[in-house]
Amino acid sequence: MDQISEKMRSLRKAKRLTQKELAEKLYVTPSTVSKWENGVAMPDIYAVTDMADIFGVEVKELLS
């Protein structure tokens, strides 16, 4: 797992969201969120921007 995947998982858990809940907010499937968090796939820029808003962080922080 790379740092971006770890950061996504960490921020999701800090917000006390399940993968399913985050998926619903992003209009994707829970398996998509799982793939992102396991480094199998990467979210597109729109999902990254939306995740940053949901997590209350800057896009830069999410990607660092």
pTM of the model: 0.91
Number of domain units in the chain: 1
pLDDT at 1: 55
DSSP line for the chain:
--HHHHHHHHHHHHTT--HHHHHHHHTS-HHHHHHHHTTSS---HHHHHHHHHHHTS-HHHHH-
CATH number at residue 22: 1.10.260.40
**22, two tokens:** 């985050």
The pLDDT tens digits of the residues spanning 11-46 come to 999 999 999 999 999 999 999 999 999 999 999 999
Parent domain of 10: 3-63
